[in-house]
Amino acid sequence: MIVCGIDEAGRGPVIGPMVIACAVFDSDGRERLKEMNVRDSKKIAPSRRENLEPKIKRVALEWNLIHVHPAEIDLRRQSISLNMIEAMKMAELIRGLDTRPHKFIVDAADAVADNFRLKILEHLGQFDREIVSEHKADDRYLEVGAASVLAKVERDRKIKELKKEHGDFGSGYPSDEVTKVFIRQLMITRSLPDYVRKSWATVDFKKNQSLIDFCVPLERVLSNADEKQSKLGDFG
């Protein structure tokens, strides 16, 4: 049986794109994934993810990626939910495949897993292949774990490029103090750039924080973050 796994990386951050990946495997490919111990990318060290990426691409019958940039997320969220955006992009990946997998397995974004399957089908129309939508599918199915690795490595690559151009902004997640301060300082000096998701809650600081809060020196926060990071392992 030929199976396609689909997963995303970067759904929650306020900075950078969401990357959605699909990867198609036959039974021989699944055996190779098992030998490589492919699993949920969040449980694999960054260095090992990078090592696995080219191997997964070689083993796959087909693979592809979609970048959903912040400007598109902001625009589409004016009329539809993030779950629907993700379902729409997954349907786009499915339609774009040259191979014809017998089954598609996706990591469900909706609280009710089957609702996410139905959202994907809304964008596919008539579709005669099986779609399985499950929570934690990236941990349960090798194909989805492989797609998870491809998406995560690609997003990490894009984040490194952004940091090289714009400076350290932390993880890009709304809960990250480095990210918060970076965005606050952007708000003071200029309008928010295209690589920031303006519709995210973090960018609403200007309405809720005092100027003193905005002016916390980024260097101080980065120094504190470096101290914490030195205590962490190589996982991310």
**Using CA atoms, how far apart are residues 170 and 202, in angstroms rounded to an integer?**
14
The topology under which CATH files domain 3-161 is: Nucleotidyltransferase; domain 5 (3.30.420)
Q: Which residues have a Cβ under 8 Å from the Cβ of 161 and sit 6 or more positions away?
A: none
- Cβ burial, residue 168 (10 Å; 0-12/13-18/19+): middle
**Using CA atoms, how far apart are residues 141 and 103, in angstroms rounded to an integer?**
12
Alpha helices in 77-141 (DSSP H): 82-95, 113-124, 137-140
Q: What is the pLDDT along the chain (236 residues), one digit of tens a residue?
A: 999 999 999 999 999 999 999 999 999 999 999 999 997 778 889 999 999 999 999 999 999 999 999 999 999 999 999 999 999 999 999 999 999 999 999 999 999 999 999 999 999 988 999 999 999 999 999 999 999 999 999 999 999 999 999 999 999 988 899 998 898 888 887 778 999 998 875 555 555 554 334 334 444 544 555 555 554 444 44
Q: Where exactly are the structural domains of the chain?
A: 3-161, 167-223
- What per-residue confidence (pLDDT) applies to 86? 98
Provide the whole-model pTM.
Answer: 0.85
70: tokens are 């912040």
